Amino acid sequence: MSAAPPKPSASETPGTHRRLLEAARAEFSEKGIESATTRGIAERAGCNEVTLFRHFESKQKLLAAVVQETSEEFRAFCACGGNFSGDPVEDLGRFAKVYTDSLERCEGMARALIGEGRRRPTLCKELIGDVLEPLHLSLAAYLGERKEAGLVRADLDGMAFAEIFTSALMGGLLRRTSGLSELDREGWLRETVAIFVDGIRK
């Protein structure tokens, strides 16, 4: 059995753990997972590497902690209640805004993990894949209700729609923030919703 990690010293401030997580998120986002260093993270947090290792043992465990926290934040941002108007344009616009707000908050880590996706598929799936399932299920359930109301095509696959819809929004964010799109944020949301709603009308 491996020895327990050393406990933080009494001289460390209560905010050290939080500063290390925020510093790690910034370092991974800016430099990528492979190029980020524990020394750089410690310097950002205003401490030394020994302190970092007291809290997290290794760069891998620090990365896992950042991914877990980012996933929890993403789920919280993506929480989308059931008070819908019944109008697909308005309601899908709401889904699109909630998802885009969430992506913007976690964009740096999402980009870092997309870049490392082939080498770290589990972490990539945890942050980008698994956290989306509740949003996808909520969107599919909404579309199921619209089917019953006769407002969308009866043959529509709700989960497939949800996956393609959120993928288009993610692609829009990546293109906009890379200077590759002439559409601004509101324009991308508006046009995406309009195109997808036209495609599902009965």
CATH code of the domain covering residue 176? 1.10.357.10
Indicate if 25 and 108 belong to the same structural domain: no
Please say whether the dihedral angle defined by the alpha carbons of residues 52, 6, 71 and 123, taken in this order, is positive or negative: positive
pLDDT confidence band for 107 (50 / 70 / 90):
confident
User: Does any domain span residue 166?
Assistant: yes
pLDDT (0 to 100) of residue 74: 73
Which pLDDT value is given to residue 72?
Answer: 80
Q: Where is pLDDT greater, at 176 or 111?
A: 176
Mean pLDDT confidence for 174-202:
94
Tokens of 2: 């491996």
3-state secondary structure at position 68: helix
Pairwise CA distance, residues 173 & 176, whole Å:
5
Cβ neighbours for 15, distance < 8 A, ≥ 6 positions apart = none
CB 62 within 8 A of CB 41: yes
Domain of residue 122, residue span:
68-200
**136 and 82 within one domain:** yes
The CA distances from residue 159 to 64, 165, 191, in Å, are 28, 10, 21
Please check the confidence at residue 6 and state whether its pLDDT lies above 70: no
1 found inside a domain: no
- In this structure, the answer to whether residues 99 and 169 fall within a common structural domain is yes
What is the per-residue pLDDT across 126-173, written as a single tens digit (0 to 9) for each? Answer: 666 677 788 888 899 999 999 998 989 999 999 999 999 999 999 999
Can you give the pLDDT at residue 81?
56
> 22 with 102, same domain?
no
Give yes or no for a contact between 65 and 30, defined as CB atoms under 8 angstroms apart: no
- The residue type of 162 is A
Contacts of 51 (CB under 8 A, 6+ apart): 8, 12, 16, 20, 42, 45
* First-residue to last-residue Cα distance in the chain: 62
pLDDT for res 104: 86
Residues 46 and 140 in one domain: no
The answer to whether residues 81 and 43 belong to one domain is no
CA distance 62 to 38: 9
Give yes or no for residue 3 having a pLDDT over 50: no
The structure's pTM equals 0.73
Do 56 and 65 contact (CB within 8 A), yes or no? yes
Does residue 152 fall inside a structural domain?
yes
pLDDT tens digit string along 40-89? Answer: 999 999 999 999 999 999 998 998 888 888 778 777 766 655 678 888 99
pLDDT tens track for 112-130: 877 777 777 877 776 666 7
Instruction: Tell me what pLDDT residue 2 has.
Output: 44
For residue 10, what pLDDT is reported? 40
What mean pLDDT comes out for the span 28-36? 88
Which one-letter amino acid corresponds to residue 144? G
Q: How many domains does the chain have?
A: 2
Q: Give me the CATH number covering residue 45.
A: 1.10.10.60
Q: Are 84 and 129 part of one and the same domain?
A: yes
Residues 93 and 53 placed together within one structural domain of the fold: no
SS3 content of the chain, % helix, strand, coil (to 5): 70, 0, 30
Name beta bridge partners: 152.
201
